Amino acid sequence: MTTYNGSCHCGRVAFDVQGTLEGVMACNCSICQRKGILMWFVPRESLHLLTPDENASTYTFDRHVAKHRFCPVCGIHPYGEGTDPQGNRMAAINVRCLEGVDLAALPVTEFDGRSA
């Protein structure tokens, strides 16, 4: 298990996340496609905020299930929060916001969020 450091562009939202990063998901839903994020899903307990939770703003849409967290200063979306189908709290980490990750080396799974 590895600990990764992540943040928005300006650093107002910063965190550590622990886990084994073996691949990411690219979603084509209306928000993920616009943000261009590559998501890594981890249990919410693996995400440790280094800045106050209130530093991040929250956006929800459609069924209001997923909480898209973003920095109100620089606009970057470093992570999201929600639950998996079994009801477990999850975090969707935007790996583009992690330090020292070779994005080209990660396998990408495409998810058709537009049809979900």
Tens of pLDDT along 75-85? 999 999 999 99
Look at the chain and report how many structural domains it folds into: 1
pLDDT value, residue 21: 97
* Selection from 83, 59, 82, 54 nearest residue 69 by Cα: 59
Residue 111 domain flag = no
Domain assignment present for residue 30? The answer is yes
**Residue ranges of E strands in the chain:** 2-7, 14-19, 24-27, 39-43, 47-49, 57-59, 67-70, 79-83, 89-94, 108-111
Please give the residue range of the domain that contains residue 80: 2-99
What pLDDT digit, counting tens, does each position of 63-99 carry? 777 899 999 999 999 999 999 999 999 999 999 999 9
**Would residue 115 count as lying in a domain?**
no
- This prediction has a pTM of 0.93
What's the CATH number where 32 sits? 2.170.150.70
For residue 95, the cross-strand partners are none
User: Does any domain span residue 58?
Assistant: yes
Is 41 within a domain?
yes
